Amino acid sequence: MSDFIRRFPEVLVNSRIIEIEHSITVPVIYLREYFPNARIIPLIVSANFRKPDIDKYAKCFANIFPYDTVYIAAVDFSHGTSFEEGMTKNEESIKIISEFNYQKLYGLKDDHLDSPSAIGLLLKTMQSLNSTNWETCLVLTAHF
């Protein structure tokens, strides 16, 4: 990881942010149980992440992390919609992700996906590794 930070000094290292970010803390509970010896490197991708940087970061990940690295994108899908509309938008988002359709992906708003950039980074990293198989592991639906 230090090689990554040297290559990209614009990357902010802030353990306090990591400690309070639910997209990190919740999955880590399960990851530690199923992969007790794994080294976890949490990354938060800003909503302001520049799309042109995604390719260079993805290539870097593919080169500096071991081939057997497990990449996980903990993102929230549809927000602020009815249950039915949210489920429809989730299906649309999953189709866009499945097709690696970056143009549509980066155009998604919060009613579809809270972090298109994080998903884009995951997909580009996968393509850099010639590994494009993925699956949705956990879908929780809350409607209040």
Tell me the per-residue pLDDT of 5-58, one tens digit each, with 9 for 90 and over. 777 767 777 778 778 877 787 888 888 898 898 888 788 887 777 778 888 888
In a domain, 82, yes or no: no
Token readout for 116 is 């298109």
Token readout for 42 is 């949490």
Q: What global pTM score does this model have?
A: 0.82
Number of domains in the chain: 1
In a domain, 92, yes or no: no
In a domain, 136, yes or no: no
Question: How many residues are recorded in the chain?
Answer: 144
In a domain, 64, yes or no: yes
Q: What is the extent of the structural domain holding 32?
A: 2-77+115-128
- CA-CA-CA-CA torsion sign (50, 19, 65, 67): negative
In a domain, 41, yes or no: yes
In a domain, 49, yes or no: yes
The predicted pLDDT at position 138 comes to 57
In a domain, 67, yes or no: yes
In a domain, 21, yes or no: yes
